[in-house]
């Protein structure tokens, strides 16, 4: 009766260089995704700020309750978009941070 003793042997210790490479790769991926997210949200912020001012004259002839539409876009519309940008950043970064933590757990 033969028994396989290899099943009782401890697993080989993880290679520290391989772990370090996985951690560096996870950090690089996380940083790349975070920078891309920030770039897109800053572009949206810039477009919102620029378009509100740039098109104010064109929208001034339209009125809502006696006030020009450009006033409403600047006073409420841009503020709501800024809040949406903050919410999108927090939501997406939470997802990216969880993915990063999972990748670090796999590397350890």
CA-CA distances (angstroms) from residue 69 to 14, 35, 49, 81, 89?
64, 34, 15, 16, 28
pLDDT at 7: 58
Reported as a single tens digit per residue, the pLDDT across 80-106 is 999 999 999 999 999 999 999 998 888
Strands 67-68 and 63-64: antiparallel
Reported as a single tens digit per residue, the pLDDT across 2-18 is 555 555 655 666 688 88
pLDDT at 4: 58
pLDDT at 92: 98
Q: In 3-state terms, what secondary structure has residue 13?
A: coil
Helix orientation angle between 16-54 and 78-107, rounded to the nearest 10 degrees: 170
Reported as a single tens digit per residue, the pLDDT across 42-81 is 999 999 988 888 888 887 888 878 888 887 778 788 889 9
């Amino acid at each position: 009766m033969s028994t396989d003793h290899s099943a009782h042997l401890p697993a080989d210790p993880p290679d520290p260089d391989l772990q370090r490479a996985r951690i560096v790769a996870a950090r690089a991926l996380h940083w790349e995704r975070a920078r891309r997210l920030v770039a897109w949200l800053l572009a949206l912020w810039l477009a919102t700020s620029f378009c509100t001012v740039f098109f104010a004259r064109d929208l001034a002839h339209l009125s809502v309750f006696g006030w020009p539409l450009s006033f409403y876009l600047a006073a409420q519309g841009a503020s709501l978009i800024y809040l949406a940008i903050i919410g999108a950043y927090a939501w997406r970064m939470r997802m990216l941070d969880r993915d990063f933590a999972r990748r670090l757990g796999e590397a350890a």
